[in-house]
Structure 1
């Protein structure tokens, strides 16, 4: 912008000055008219020179006032011109500064736009990496979930087998608690129904009457080990018959034919005695039990009774368990020496074991198995709501707005 001196030269004539000038002319005309009047009229108006003088003074005062006003207006106009020139100079300086700032802002905006483009490219690369990481995480999570579900399935199956086949409530509890602990470590929202089902089955098993199957089985095992050392009531085993040594018969003065016949008859008699054995059975003994002389069969039958009692214990068959133990106790009381301390301890142990309840209430783990099958049928995945992703295009209108805010130096 070019500096031009405003067309303010002299102030326009003031209305007061314009009014003063006509009054001055009027006063001059009145004075001239008064001078041109004949002297004869003066005596007729004696007060006229005084009025003329007064009018002249007034005219001179008006002229002075008008001149002072004109001088004052001119001074104010000069001041206004100086102030306007100063302000124009200041405006030019401010415009120059604004132009410089605008150029700096344009440079800064251009730099920011370049940086924004770099940031957008990095953001796109980061979004691609985030998507790849998310995909890898989903794959890892699914594989980890599959591993956890496989472990839980194995534990629940083992618990069901312990309950159904052996009636082992403690073993089933241990298996279910290990599965629940594994799910607690791998805390995922979609596994909550399975954890609730496991907790329900664990609570049901805890309320069942616990039978110490392993402890009872060990006590039966100790009884089995002592069967061979329990003394019998009757005598020991029959001694083996020693074969008699045949001595040749020698007859004095006899013939050899008679000696040979006698020796042959003796050998035949010995052979017949070795072929025939006479054994005695006690009165009232069961057919399955042999005579006391054959303690081996008695001990083996007693051992079989204890083994079948242990099998009934593992199967949870309380009736067969009690029958076998009662039969074994009856045999010990009948055929073994009740005065022996070992026999007395065995009888007391059998009575104590016979009084123990071994029948276990069956529990099928229906809640855990159904929840596990339902989770496996769904593939272990639930719909997930993904948060809206920030797109680079969302930031571009802001950059455009920043460009729109650029100050145009030419405006």
Structure 2
């Protein structure tokens, strides 16, 4: 009889191959699932980064638009100040013409009419005192006020009435206070602002490095360079350029506000400049000195406070009103 060979080994081989195929299919499915998850996570990160960049761009555009609005408002205020200055110049021209007319009338008077000449001199003194007071209080022009008061003193010396001796003493005290004022706070603050702007270039832009860095920094030094940073300080070059331009603009606006005597605008622009200092330079001793200097400039008075200002004019008017009463 012919013996039939057993089929058990062949069936075992088929089962092994079937298991191998199933294992490969399972591995392929697992790899596909992992790849799909990685792709989804990558897309989510890309969308989040794009949304963050769009938000930063919108914030920068809004800040730029705000700066443009402030610049337009400043230009308008400067134009208004220029028109006001033109009106003041016209008024000063009218006052000068009036003074010239008074001098011509005085030249026509005879020496015998001493009281009429004295009245004209007192009118001229009153005019010059009023002009000097307005120059100092309105325009902050201390040298112009001193010139007007010097002219008034010269005219008052021509009045021989001894009743005006106290008036001369009051005028002398007022002139002494004006001489002690110097060029006035406006010129002094303008020079200090220029010096402050020039001193910003010497501020350190990076934090000082340690003498002995940690071990992990020394190990990574051939691969990367680690620099200490400070939160809030701008690091990108484009952001620093824009912030420095905004700082220069605020300092220019402070100059314009100082020229027109706008104390509120002057202090608000210097407050914004102090914010830009914190964004541009890391914390250091020179930066603290600059912030203290900026705070001193911000708290300074734009117009001089002279208690004696106007006392001579008030005394002159009081004396003339008293003598004019019956």
TM-score w.r.t. length of structure 1: 0.33
- Structure with the larger RCO, 1 or 2 (CA within 8 Å, 6+ apart): 1
Larger radius of gyration: 1
